[in-house]
Amino acid sequence: MANFDFLVYCSMLLCFCSTFTESIAVNNITRSQFLRDGQTLVSRLGSFELGFFSPGKSKNRYVGIWYMNISVQTLVWVANRKNPLIDSSGVLRIDVSGNLILVNQTNNIFWSSNSSRTAENPVVQLLDSGNLVLQSNLEEENFLWQSFDYPSDTLLPGMKLGWNLKTGLDHRLSSWKSPDDPSPGDLSYGIELYGYPEAVMWKGTEEHFRSGPWNGLRYSGAPELSPNTVFSFTFTDNVEEGSIQSRLVLNQSSSNGGVLQRFTWNGRSSGWQLFLQVPRDYCDTYGLCGAYSNCDTNQSPVCQCLEGFKPKSPANWDSLDWFDGCVRKTPLDCRNRDGFMKFSSLKLPATRQTWVNRSMDLKECKVECLKNCSCTAYAIADVRGSGSGCVLWFGDLIDIRQFPINSATTGQDLFIRVDSSELAAQSDSKRKGKLIATIAATLVMGILLLSCSVWYLWKWKNKIRLEGSEVDNGEQDTVDKSHMDDLELHAFDLATIAMATDNFSVSNKLGEGGFGPVYKGELSNGQEIAVKRLSKNSLQGIDEFKNEVILISKLQHRNLVKVLGCCIEGAETMLIYEYMENKSLDHYIFDEKRSTLLDWEKRLNIVFGIARGLLYLHQDSRLRIIHRDLKASNILLDCNMEPKISDFGMARIFGGDQIEAETNKVVGTYGYMSPEYAIEGLFSVKSDVFSFGVLVLEMVSGKRNRGFYHPEHQLNLLGHAWKLWNDGKSLELIDPLMRDSCVASEVLRCIHVGLLCVQQQMEIRPTMSSVVFMLGSESAVLPDPRQPGFFTERFPTKASSFSSMQHSCSSSNSVTVTLLTGR
């Protein structure tokens, strides 16, 4: 099933180029003029151009509008989407009735504006907004017809998305069928005018994604649309229209220069750099968790019944089939026993069955909901200021997701109707929690006091002992040095690191992960370093930091990142690494331009290096270590493109005889996790082997496993590789950018080994010692691989399965908001 993307791109480069068509001198045509194939209209300031074009490999001819000053032709509107010309005989002109029409040499009409209003002297003009308008004359802005009323797949600033209730027009985006065919595809995006309007994406007639309702500032399910300095959206909901409008809000005195913006869902985004993306993950898939369930990417599994509810089908729920959702633990009886449980930071449920009163406050809203036995929840309609308006939900609550509760800019409060017994249980639970917390705090304080007393007594006795006998200073120094050697890391002071990073300057920031920001620095001796600084709001914490310090201080291998030391001073906690000037592996293999720098020989060398590093962790080091978060972004590349495994915050040490362990807290990255770890929390060396197999297949294909898209099926990259293997077409997996440099036998061996590593059953996956042997030996006979993990197609039926968690982005079926700024 196709996926829905909402992307924003920013770039500081605006490429100017000459057009390859003949432009007429004006930006308009009158009844006495016409536009032939090969001629174009150009807007007054040269922002947009209208003319004939052929998309992709197609030879059909269409009339469209595109950005004039971007080297890669970027279409924003197409007139004859459904009815292409088959040759270059097309002419665009105004007919006798005042309509703009597209005809061929035999005067057959291929497209018409079909305006119901007429004018004596009609003029067609291309505006600098990208709007093509038909008007009575150039002095009046009384448009008889405009292209902004009939969007294709792109929403430009000033366009509206939604309904004009006076004319009945539904301004809705629809995807191209393919890069070669601009006719409407299966995907469409528009505004549904329920009681509480919201933006919805459909695949055919099936609802596939929704934004959450408009709450006065943004959609409740799209925190990325919060007010910012780059762009904004305004929402209109009255008797005449229900629509959203995009506006640029850049400060005109800023140094960003000219600005272009687009909101579109196609993969034609060359030259635009990713800024943000929605949907973010599988929790944005409509109805993934069923009714009265909350989708939370920080939980495992992601679907959790709301408090006061339980799975409707426990067996299905345990097998990760959440489609049936949840039901109340205690049914409602509507006899003054009902109350409301507050849930915070949510994407509000689907609004198909809602009622809105804009004048009520929250207290009145609660009373109104209690009056109606069918009312299941209520919330504030407008979150601006102190909040106002009332929204009531009737029927089941569907498509809820959880946002981080500690963030003030995401999600809303929702009050869900429950039996009073559930409120009492919640209150008891809170009281017990407070009591437990109080007892725990008391015990901790008692232990601390006792520890301090013991420490003070020990110091006092030690002082007396030292006063009674001479202690050799050399021996005392040896004791202290021995203590430092246990850590085997150099301790940097904060002043040194601050000076090296120019006081943690933004210009020195290399990136940011779950641990916190990473900065480039240079020590006084000229050595370049990378400083990983623990953030106060880090997803990881001091435990992960300590874990990484303990592990990396004891590890030394050419394919593991080298740690130079640490800094623990005051509130600051940092690790100092050797600087990797070529950044991480994902910086190259998933980028169309940079991936050309990695020919097959380099990729194969990187695969071998990662394999040797993992073998050292699993078998040859002083400790047996499971990395648990092996992925492309955690493979760093030095100046010689040698790979270094990094980020050991999630790693775990195994004892000599231990082969596996279990955890209630699954950490890592979906797309790289093995099935037994993601589902059961079971991890072992075979979990890392699975992640390595994913990496190998990504290296060969240049595609991400999570987010892989193929027009003929809904498999992820592992499933696609498995399908090609069974069809005897494995070489089709190769990244087209390196086909000329690869050795077919080596590629096939890597694919073979990769498939062996990602097999569903962990028992039959090879060890890393076997992997290194198989990769390096052309004579080794490799066993046939069996079905990989997460092979099932994504969303094959209404009922979701765990494979749905692999559902991700599809660049060819995406909605994008794009910004381009130029000097």
| Chain segment 350-366, per-residue pLDDT in tens | 999 999 998 999 999 99
pLDDT (tens digit per residue) in 555-574: 778 899 888 888 888 778 88
Taking each helix axis from N to C end, the angle separating 744-757 and 768-776, rounded to the nearest 10 degrees, works out to 170
Distance from C-alpha of 819 to C-alpha of 60, rounded to nearest angstrom: 29
Distance from C-alpha of 420 to C-alpha of 51, rounded to nearest angstrom: 66
Alpha carbon 107 to chain centroid distance?
Answer: 49
Output the pLDDT for position 810.
33
* β-strand partners of 93: 34, 101
At 40, the pLDDT band (50, 70, 90 cuts) reads very high
Output the pLDDT for position 669.
81
* CB 494 within 8 Å of CB 570: yes
C-alpha closest to that of 365 among 374, 353, 355, 350: 355
Lowest-pLDDT range, 137-146, 264-273, 295-304, 557-566?
264-273
C-alpha closest to that of 62 among 47, 73, 46: 73
Amino acid sitting at position 483: H
Residue with token string 């009844």: 31
Distance from C-alpha of 725 to C-alpha of 711, rounded to nearest angstrom: 18
pLDDT, average across residues 750-757? 95
At 737, the pLDDT band (50, 70, 90 cuts) reads confident
Joined tokens for residue 613? 């590093």
Q: How far is CA 4 from CA 179, 196, 207, 264, 712, in A?
A: 17, 22, 11, 11, 17
Instruction: Report CA Rg, the chain.
Output: 31
Distance from C-alpha of 61 to C-alpha of 81, rounded to nearest angstrom: 10
pLDDT, average across residues 224-237? 67
Distance from C-alpha of 550 to C-alpha of 417, rounded to nearest angstrom: 49
Residue 660 predicted with pLDDT over 90:
no
- ∠353-356-360 over CA atoms, to 5°? 145
Half-sphere exposure of 625 (CA within 13 A, CB side): 28
* CB 4 within 8 Å of CB 202: no
Query: What average pLDDT is seen over the chain?
Result: 78
CATH of the domain spanning 490-578: 3.30.200.20
Output the pLDDT for position 241.
62
Output the pLDDT for position 801.
34
pLDDT, average across residues 730-737? 90
Residue with token string 């990136």: 511
Which is more confident, 172 or 473? 172
Q: What does the DSSP assignment read for 404-428?
A: -TT-TTS-EEEEEEEEHHHHHHHHH
* CB 288 within 8 Å of CB 323: no
* CB 638 within 8 Å of CB 644: yes
pLDDT (tens digit per residue) in 327-349: 999 988 876 678 999 999 999 99
Q: Give me the sheet containing 181-192, strands edge to edge.
A: 173-178, 181-192, 198-203, 206-213
Percent of the chain with pLDDT over 70: 74
Q: How many residues does the chain have?
A: 823
pLDDT (tens digit per residue) in 424-453: 665 555 555 565 666 766 777 777 777 776
* CB 155 within 8 Å of CB 818: no
Output the pLDDT for position 294.
93
403 contacts: CB under 8 Å, gap ≥ 6: 223, 345, 346, 347, 410, 411
Output the pLDDT for position 429.
53
Output the pLDDT for position 816.
41
At 423, the pLDDT band (50, 70, 90 cuts) reads confident
- ∠288-2-757 over CA atoms, to 5°? 80
C-alpha closest to that of 339 among 282, 400, 271, 420: 420
* CB 589 within 8 Å of CB 641: no
* CB 396 within 8 Å of CB 376: yes
DSSP class of 204: T
Output the pLDDT for position 433.
58
Q: How far is CA 617 from CA 312, 465, 555, in A?
A: 44, 45, 8
* CB 745 within 8 Å of CB 724: no
* CB 418 within 8 Å of CB 383: no
Output the pLDDT for position 143.
87
Half-sphere exposure of 583 (CA within 13 A, CB side): 11
* CB 363 within 8 Å of CB 388: no
Cis check: omega of the bond before 796, within 30 degrees of 0: no
Third-level CATH fold of 6-281: Agglutinin, subunit A (2.90.10)
Distance from C-alpha of 474 to C-alpha of 269, rounded to nearest angstrom: 67
CATH homologous superfamily for the domain 586-807? Transferase(Phosphotransferase) domain 1 (1.10.510.10)
Residue 814 predicted with pLDDT over 50:
no
Residue spans per domain, the chain: 6-281, 291-425, 490-578, 586-807
Residue 488 predicted with pLDDT over 80:
no
* CB 728 within 8 Å of CB 619: no
**526 CB neighbour count, 10 Å cutoff:** 6
pLDDT (tens digit per residue) in 496-555: 999 999 999 989 988 776 567 889 999 989 999 999 887 765 545 566 666 667 666 667
Give the pairing of strands 490-491 and 375-382.
unpaired
Residues 237, 321, 338, 629: which is the catalytic one?
629
Which is more confident, 410 or 658? 410
Distance from C-alpha of 789 to C-alpha of 132, rounded to nearest angstrom: 51
* β-strand partners of 124: 29, 134
Output the pLDDT for position 437.
64
Residue with token string 């018409």: 112
Distance from C-alpha of 673 to C-alpha of 651, rounded to nearest angstrom: 14
Three-class secondary structure of residue 612 per DSSP: helix
pTM value is 0.54
- ∠581-585-591 over CA atoms, to 5°? 105
Q: How far is CA 473 from CA 223, 466, 469, 480, 560, in A?
A: 62, 12, 12, 11, 38
502 backbone φψ class: left, alpha, beta (φ>0; ψ -120 to 50): left
Q: How far apart are the first and last CA of the chain?
A: 41
* CB 516 within 8 Å of CB 532: yes
Output the pLDDT for position 224.
66
Instruction: Show the beta-strand stretches assigned E in 630-727.
Output: 635-637, 643-645, 652-654, 660-662, 682-684
Q: Which of 228-242, 465-479, 643-657 has the highest mean pLDDT?
A: 643-657
Amino acid sitting at position 544: E
- ∠403-319-342 over CA atoms, to 5°? 30
pLDDT (tens digit per residue) in 671-704: 888 888 887 788 888 999 999 999 999 999 999 9
Joined tokens for residue 747? 């590629």
Phi, psi of 758 (to 5 degrees): -100, 20
Distance from C-alpha of 40 to C-alpha of 355, rounded to nearest angstrom: 50
37 as an active site residue: the answer is: no
CA dihedral 752, 756, 760, 765 (to 10 degrees): 180
Residue 819 predicted with pLDDT over 60:
no
pLDDT (tens digit per residue) in 404-421: 765 545 678 999 999 888
* β-strand partners of 491: 566
Distance from C-alpha of 407 to C-alpha of 469, rounded to nearest angstrom: 60
Residue 576 predicted with pLDDT over 80:
yes
Phi, psi of 416 (to 5 degrees): -105, 135
